[in-house]
Amino acid sequence: MPKLSEYNKKRDFNKTAEPKGTVKKGGKELRFVVQKHAASHLHYDFRLEIDGVLVSWAVPKGPIADTSVKRLAMHVEDHPMDYIDFEGTIPKGEYGGGTVMVWDTGTYLAEGIDNVADSEKVLRKMYKEGNIKIVMNGKKLKGSYHIVQMHGREENSWLLLKGKDEYADKKDFDQTSVLTGRTLEEIGKDKKSDVWESNHDGKTETKNPNKIDLEEVADAVEQLKTDSESKKKTATETETSQTFTAEDVADAKKLDEFPTNWLPQLATLADEVFDNEDWIYETKYDGYRAIIEVNDGDVNLVSRNGISFNDRYKPLVKAFDAITNDVILDGEIVVEDTKGISHFQWLQYYADNPDRGTLKCYVFDILYFNGFDLTSLELVQRKRILEALLPQSDQIIYSGHIKGKGSKALKEVEQKGGEGLIAKKASSKYYINKRSKDWLKIKISKEQEMVIGGFTDPKGSRTAFGSLLLGYYEDGKLIYSGKVGTGFNEESLKDIYEKLTALEQKTSPFSIKPKEPGAHWIKPDLVAQIKYSEWTETNSLRHPVFMGLRTDKDPKDVIKEIAGPLTPEGGNLEAEKTTKKNAVKKADKVKPAKADSDKKPAKETKTKTAEKVIEEKTPAKKAAAKTKSTSKTMKSKAGYDTEKVEVTHPEKIFWPKEGYTKGDVIAYYNEMADYILPYIKDRPESMRRTPDGIVKEGFFQKNVAGMVPDWAQTEKIHSDSTKEDIEYLICNDKETLIYMANLGCIEINPWSSRVGTLDNPDYIIFDLDPNKTTIENLVTTAKKVKEILDSLNIKGYLKTSGGKGLHVFIPIKPKYTYEQSRDFSHIISQAVNAALPDITSLERMPKKREGKVYLDFLQNGKGKTMACAYSLRPREGATASAPLEWDELDDTFDLKNYNIKTLPKRVKEKGDLWEGFFKDALDLEEVLNKLSQ
pLDDT value of residue 577:
36
Phi-psi region of 297 (alpha: psi -120 to 50; beta: other; left: phi over 0): left
Distance CA 132, CA 134 (A): 6
Could you tell me if 170 and 66 are in contact, meaning their C-beta atoms sit under 8 angstroms apart? yes
In terms of Cα–Cα distance, which of 37, 32, 48, 26 is closest to 138?
Answer: 32
Band (pLDDT 50/70/90 cuts) for residue 722 is: low
Q: What is the pLDDT of residue 209?
A: 35
pLDDT value for 7: 52
Q: What is the pLDDT of residues 792-803, one digit of tens each?
A: 889 999 999 999
Number of H helices, E strands in the chain: 21, 45
* β-pair partners for 715: 728
Q: What is the mean pLDDT of the chain?
A: 80
For CA atoms 896, 864, 448, 277, give the dihedral sign: negative
What beta strand segments (E) does 577-665 contain? 653-655, 660-661
pTM for this one?
A: 0.41
Q: What pLDDT, in 10s, does the model give residues 864-913?
A: 888 999 999 999 999 999 999 999 999 899 999 999 999 999 999 999 99
CB 412 within 8 A of CB 235: yes
Q: From CA 327, how far away is CA 883, in angstroms rounded?
A: 62
With a CB cutoff of 8 Å and minimum separation 6, the contacts of 661 are: 624, 627, 633, 650, 651, 652, 653, 654
| Sign (positive or negative) of CA dihedral 380, 386, 389, 394 | negative
| b/e sequence 777-788, b meaning 16+ C-beta within 10 Å | bbbebbebbbeb
595-612 in b/e burial notation, b at 16+ Cβ within 10 A?
eeeeeeeeeeeebbbbbb
Alpha-helix runs per DSSP H in 765-835: 775-791, 818-835
The count of residues in the chain is: 933
Per-residue pLDDT, 292: 96
- pLDDT score of 261: 86
SS3 string of 392-415? CCCCEEECCCEECCHHHHHHHHHH
Q: Are 837 and 852 in contact (CB under 8 A)?
A: no
Q: Which of 544, 534, 905 is nearest to 744 (CA)?
A: 534
Percentage of residues of the chain with pLDDT beyond 90: 43
H or E element in which residue 530 lies: strand 519-531
CB-based contact 770:777 (threshold 8 Å): yes
Question: What digits encode the pLDDT tens for the residues 558-591?
Answer: 998 765 444 333 333 333 333 333 333 333 433 3
Q: What structural domains does the chain harbor?
A: 5-195 (no CATH), 230-443 (3.30.470.30), 449-556+577-615 (2.40.50.140), 630-737 (3.90.920.10), 763-932 (3.90.920.10)
Worst-scoring range by mean pLDDT, 182-191, 295-304, 532-541, 652-661? Answer: 532-541
